[in-house]
Structure 1
Amino acid sequence: MNLTICLSAAFLILSHAAFCMPIRGQVKAGNKGLSHVVITDGINFTQTDTKGNFLLDTDQEARFVYLLTPDGYVADYRSGTPEFYLPLDPEKEDYIFQLTETGKRSHHILLAIADVQTKTDEQFQRFQTQSIPDLQEMIASYPPATPVTGISLGDIVWDHFEHFPVYKKEMARLKIPFYPVIGNHDHDKEILSDKASAHTYEKYFGPAYYAFQLGKVYCIVLDNILYEGNKKYTEALTEEQIQWVGQLLKYLPENAPILIATHSPFYYADRGIIPGGEELFGILKNHPVSLISGHTHLNSNHEIKPGIIEHNIGAICGTWWTADENRDGTPNGYDVFEITGSEIEWFYKSVGHERNWQFKVFPRGTVKEKPNSVIAKVWNWDKKWQVKWYEDGAAKGAMQRFNGYDPDYLEYVGRLKTEKYTQPQESFFYFEATPSEKAREIEIEVTDRFGHIFPRQKVVLLPDK
C-alpha cells in the first residue's frame, strides 16, 4: 500500500516536471531590480524577490511570460503597444523585463476606444486623419505630469491583418501606452480553434488576457470571444481565465477597485449576462467593479448588478466608417475615464467636438411620431443624469425620456443603400418636451451624474417681433 502511494506520488512529480518548463528572470527599471512584481504565464503565478528576480514553472501550453505592470512604471511602448510580455522559448531560460519609472500619481487618465475596425485603406485614412488628431488633442489637454493611458477594446481591424502594423504605427504617434484587447475580427477566420486563431493578434500584441495598474485601480483585460472559425464565435469567458483572475486577486489589495476590459459586453438586455460572467462577478464580490467593452456599435452605461456598471462604449468608427454616428445616434467617439485615487469619473468624447458637447437638440417637427415636441439626444445618459427644459426663460422641469431613433442617422440611411448590419437601432437616450403654442424659445440643460452642467442649447420657435 505504501509502495503504491510512493509510486503514485513519484509519478505525479515526474508528470508535473514533464509538463512544466521552469524559467528564471528579472524585472528591472534601469539597474534597479523591482520587488513584488507579479509574473504569470497565463496560468501560473509568482512574484519577484527584493532584487527583482523570479522563478516560474511555466505550463506546456503557455506562449508568453508577462507581468502585471505595476503602478509608477511602464513597459516600452514605442512600437505602438506596451511590451510587458516575452514569448516563451524552449531554448531560453532567462527572461529580463526592463521597465521605465514614471513615478506614482494619484490622478490618471484612461482613454478607451472601441472598434477601430478598418478594412480598407480609405477607412484607415479616416482613423488616421480624424480619430488620431482628436486623441492627440485630448492627451494634450491634460497637464504634462498627468499620466495618460489608452486601451483599444477589440476589433482593431476588420479581418484584414495587414492593418495591424499600420495601426501600431499610428498609436505610437500618441506617445502614450495604448493597451490592446482582442475582438472577434482580430481572430483568423480560416482557423477553427479559439486559441490558434489568435496567432496573428499575439504576434503583434502579445497575450489576450493580462493586467496593469493605474494608481489604486487594477485594470484586467480579458478575452470573451470564443472563436469557432469562419467568423463564428460565442461570447463567453473561459474557465481558464476565471481561474487566472482568481489567482491574480491573491496578489491585489483587499477591496481594490477593478476595471475589467473586454471586447464584447457582459450584459445584453435580451439574454442577460454572458456565460462565465456570474462566476467572475462572484470572485470579485469584495471589489468595486467597472466594466468597459465595445462590439455593439452602441453606447450605454448600465448598472448590470448592484455596484457593477458596464460602459458599453460607442465605436470610434461609428457605423463602420460609413457615417459620423453609431447606429443608435451616438457620435463617433470614445470614453475618457478620470481616475483620482479609488474614484472614477467618465465622459464621452465625440470626435471633432469639444468635450462639453454632450447632447444635441432637434427642433419641433423633426421626429414625425412627435410632431409638436422638441427632442434632445443625450448619448451618454444614465439614470443619475438630469435633462431639464425652459420655455421663454421659465423652468418647466424634466424632459420626458422615450425610446427612439436618431433623426440624423435615419436621414443618412434614407439617402443611401445600407447593409443590414448598419440599420438604425432604437435607443433609450432620447427626450421630448412639448412647448406651448405661444412659446418663442426653448432652452435645454443637461447635468451628468457628477454634477457637471453642460452648456445650454437653444431652439427658437417664433422670431422676435
Structure 2
Amino acid sequence: MRTPLLAALLLAIAPVVAVASPCQQGSVFEDRNGNGRRDAGERGLAGIRVSDGTQVVVTDREGRFQLPGEAAMVTVVKPAGYRAAARADGLPDIWRQAGQADTDAAGACRAFALVPEPRAPQTLKALVMADSQTASQLDVDYFRRDIIEPLRGRHGAQLGMTLGDITNDDPSLYPALVAATTSLGVPWLHVPGNHDMDVDATSDADSLRSYHRHLGPDTYAWEERQMVFIGLDDVIARPGTKPAYVAGLREEQFTFLEQYLGGLDDSRLVVIGVHMPLFDPSFRPADRQRLFDLLARFPKRLVLSAHTHQQQHVFHDVAAGWKGEGRLHEYNVGAACGAFWSGVKDAQGIPDTTMSDGTPNGHGLLTVQADGRYMLEYRVARGEASEQMRLHAPRVLRRGAYPAWGVYANVFMGHEDTEVEFRVDGGPWTPMKKVLRPDPWLLAQNVADDTSAVLRGYDRSPEASPSSHLWRGALPTTLEVGEHVVEVRARLDSGQAGAQTRYALQHAGP
C-alpha cells in the first residue's frame, strides 16, 4: 500500500518516543516447583517491592502491583528467602523490558516468579568482579580460561556480580560473557560502566540500550538474609562533549534510593555496587554528598566500585563529607582483565596483565555473616587463596654495604591500617614501612619491555604507578656471606598472610 505524501512527511518528522513497558501493572507469585510458570495453586506474594527505576511500589495481598507511570523497564526486588527464576540465558529473571518477549499470550505482563529457598546458608559468599573489559572474542577466551574456569565447582559462592566495563565498547560480546559467568551456577548481577555505553548514543537517556537489552536494569535492589545489594549506574553520559562522561547519579535514582532505603530496617548491611569510584575526581560532589546522607543512618554499609584498574581501600570520613557512624568503607576492586589483557603470555597463552599498582588480575570475594558483618578477600587469577602478596628483593648484596636496599611487599588487600612485618633467617619480626611508590617488580617488567628489541606481548605491561599497598623493609648486610631467607607476614582483615623470598650476600671483588 502506498503511503500518502502528507502522512509520510509526518512520520519522517515525528519524534522518536521510547516504548513503554507493558508491565506498569503485573504480579509476583511463589513458584513452588521452580518451572518459571504460574501453575494452579501457586499463590501471589504480598509485600514484594517492584520498581521502574524511580518509583517503588509493593504488591498487594494477591501479589499484584501497579506503578504510577510509564517506564521502559520494570524490576522486582528479589526478597530474602527466595531465589529468582532464571531467564533463558541463565541471568536472574528480575526485569521486564519494553520491546522484548515479556508478555504472555494475552498481552499481559509476564508474572515474576520467585522460588522458595528455605535452606539458604547462614553465611553468604559473593564473587565480585570488576572490568572484564573484553575487546574481542580472544579477550573473552582469556576471561573464561583465566578467571572463570578455575572457579567452576570450587568457588562456594551463592551470588556473583560484575561492576561495569563488562565489555570494551563491543556489546556483541555480552552473550559470550554471560555464558561464561552463568556457567558458575549462581545468580549474576551487573552494573554498567563507561565502556558499556553505546558509542552511537546521543544522550545519557539512550546510552545503555545494548546493556539493557542483554543485562537488564541499571538501578535495582537485591535482598539476601545477610545483606541488601543495590546496583547503580553512576556514569553520566555526555555524548559529543569532552569529557564524554562524568560520575554521579540521576535525580530518578535518588528518588528510588529515598523510597527503597526509607522502608528498609537500618540494622541491615547495605552494599552499594557502582562502576565509578566515589573518590573519582569527576564524581559530582553534590551527588556524592546526597548518597552519603542517605547511607548515614545505616551502621553497616559498604561500597564496591571498579574503573581504576588498580586495587585500593578508601575510608570516607568527616573531611570527605561522611556524617555517619565511623568511616564509610569503599573497596575499589582489582580488574578481572588486569591491565587490559596486556603483558607477556605464559605457557597457557594468557597475558600476565598485572595492573599498574602491581596487583595481579583476579576477583574479590565478599563474605557476609548472618548479622551483617562482612569480610573482603582477593583471589589472584588461577592462584591459590594463600597468594596475597608479591615480594621483591635484590638477588645479591655486598656484605658490609650500607643497608640502603630493601625487600618490598605488595600486599594486595593492604590498606592504611594493615600491619606488615619481616624477618631474616628466623630472627625477630620487624615492622615494615608503608611507602607510596611504584612496585619494583613491575618496574623491572617496564625495563625489560624498554630494552627488548621486539614486543614481548601484544601490549607492554603498564607503566608502574605508585601503589597504595606497598611496604618496605631495609635488608641487613652484616650477616654471613651466603643465602638468607626473608619472611614477610601481614595481618589482613581476613586473617594473617605470609610469603618468603631470598637474597645473598657476597664479598666485594677487586
TM range (shorter): 0.7 to 0.9
Distance 1:85 1:22 in 2: 12
Cα 1:420/1:192, change in 2 over 3 Å: farther
Provide the residue aligned with 2:485 in structure 1: 441
Secondary structure of the residue aligned to 1:59 is coil
Deviations 1:182-239, CA, capped at 9 Å, x for gaps: 1111111111211211001100111111010122311000010011236811111112
CA contact (8 A) 1:114 1:154 kept: yes
User: Which residue of 178, 199, 216 maps to 1:189?
Assistant: 199
Residue 63, structure 1, aligned to residue 65, structure 2: no
* Larger mean Cα displacement after TM superposition, 204-213 or 68-77: 68-77
CA shift, 1:327, in A, is 1.3
Q: How far apart, in 1, do the equivalents of 2:395 and 2:438 lie?
A: 14
- Listed as ranges, the gaps of 5+ residues in structure 2 are 1-19, 33-41, 318-325, 344-351, 398-402
Residue 22 to residue 110, structure 1, CA distance change in 2 (3 Å) = closer
Question: Which secondary structure does the structure 1 equivalent of 2:183 belong to?
Answer: helix
Task: Please name the residue that 1:430 is paired with.
Answer: 470
For the 8 Å contact 1:375–1:430, the answer to whether it is kept is yes
Secondary structure in 1 aligned to 2:445?
helix
90, 105, 114: which is aligned to 2:130? 114
**Superposition RMSD on alpha carbons, in Å?**
2.8
Structure 1 residue aligned with 2:364: 335
1:233: which partner in 2? 245
Letter in 2 for 1:132: I
- Choose which of 482, 496, 500 in structure 2 pairs with 1:457: 500
Q: Which residue of 1 aligns with 2:322?
A: none
Please show how residues 116-131 of structure 1 align to structure 2 within 5 Å.
Answer: 116-131=132-147
Aligned pair in 2 of structure 1 residues 131, 381: CA closer, same or farther (>3 Å)?
same
Q: Distance in 1 between matches of 2:422 and 2:233?
A: 43
SS in structure 2 at match of 1:126:
helix
Contact 1:21 1:58 in 2 (8 A): no
The answer to whether 1:409 aligns with 2:409 is no
Q: Sequence identity of aligned pairs in percent?
A: 23
1:277 to 264, 285, 288: 288
Superposed, which structure 2 residues align to 1:33-432 within 5 Å? 33-51=44-62, 53-60=63-70, 62-77=71-86, 79-88=89-98, 92-103=107-118, 104-136=120-152, 138-139=154-155, 142=156, 148-229=158-239, 232-268=244-280, 274-287=285-298, 288-305=300-317, 306-323=326-343, 324=352, 325-341=354-370, 342-364=372-394, 372-414=405-447, 415=449, 422-432=462-472
* More off after superposition, 384-393 vs 348-357: 384-393
**Ranges in structure 1 where 5+ consecutive residues have no aligned partner:** 1-17
Pairwise CA distance, 1:275:
4.4
Contact 1:46/1:54, CA 8 A, preserved across alignment: no
Whether the aligned pair in 2 keeps the contact of 1:362 and 1:376 (CA below 8 Å) is yes
Contact 1:266 1:274 survives alignment (8 Å): no
Structure 1, residues 409-446: CA drift from partner, whole Å, max 9, x if none? 33333316798994332112111111222333321111
Q: CA deviation at 1:350?
A: 0.5
| Distance apart, 1:181 and its partner CA | 0.9
* Structure 1 pair 274–319 and aligned structure 2 pair: CA distance change class (3 A): farther
Name the CA shift for 1:218/1:173 in 2 (closer, same or farther; >3 Å). Answer: same
| 1:282 partner SS | helix
Q: Is the 8 A contact 1:27 1:37 kept in 2?
A: no
In structure 1, C-alpha distance between the alignment counterparts of 2:199 and 2:409, rounded to whole Å: 41
Deviation at residue 38 of structure 1 after TM alignment: 0.7
Deviations 1:263-300 (A, max 9, x none): 110113x6787541110110121112200011110100
The answer to whether the Cα contact below 8 Å between 1:81 and 1:180 also exists between their aligned partners in 2 is no
What letter is aligned with 2:52?
D
CA separation of 1:456/1:21 partners in 2, compared to 1, >3 Å: closer, same or farther? closer
Give the residue type in structure 1 aligned to 2:217. P
Deviation at 1:34, TM superposition (A): 2.4
Q: Distance in 2 between matches of 1:27 and 1:366?
A: 69
Look up the SS of the partner of 1:267 in the other structure.
coil
* Offset of residue 136 of structure 1: 2.0
* Distance in structure 2 (CA, Å) of the matches to 1:358 and 1:22: 48
* SS of alignment partner, residue 214 of structure 2: helix
Query: Looking at CA atoms only, which structure, 1 or 2, has the larger radius of gyration?
Result: 2
Q: Distance in 1 between matches of 2:367 and 2:95?
A: 27
Deviations 1:127-186 (A, max 9, x none): 1111111332542xx3xxxx5100001011101111011111112211111101111111
Q: 1:347 to 1:138 in 2, by over 3 A?
A: farther
TM-score, structure 2 as length reference = 0.79
| Residues 363/101 of structure 1: CA separation in 2 closer, same or farther (3 Å cut) | same
Equivalent in the alignment of 2:35: none
Relative to structure 1, the CA distance from residue 315 to residue 275 in structure 2 (aligned partners, 3 Å threshold; closer, same or farther) is farther
CA contact (8 A) 2:153 2:184 kept: no
Would the alpha carbon gap of residues 81 and 412 (structure 1) be closer, same or farther in structure 2, given more than 3 Å must change? farther
Indicate how the Cα distance of structure 1 residues 419 and 443 shifts in structure 2: closer, same or farther if over 3 A, else same: closer
Give, as a single letter, the amino acid of the residue that structure 2 aligns with 1:435. Answer: L
Aligned to 2:30: 28
Name the structure with the higher strand share.
1
Amino acid at match of 2:137: D
Residue in structure 2 matched with residue 14 of structure 1 by the alignment: none
Deviation per CA, 1:344-387: give whole Å up to 9, x if none: 001111001111111111113799xx961111111210133211
What CA distance in whole angstroms lies between the structure 2 residues aligned with 1:443 and 1:421?
28
CA gap 1:385/1:21 in 2 versus in 1, 3 angstroms: closer
1:26-63 CA deviation, whole Å, 9 max, x = no partner? 33223243222111111222212334x22313423x11
Number of residue pairs matched?
434
Query: Matched residues in 1 for 2:307 and 2:411: separation?
Result: 20
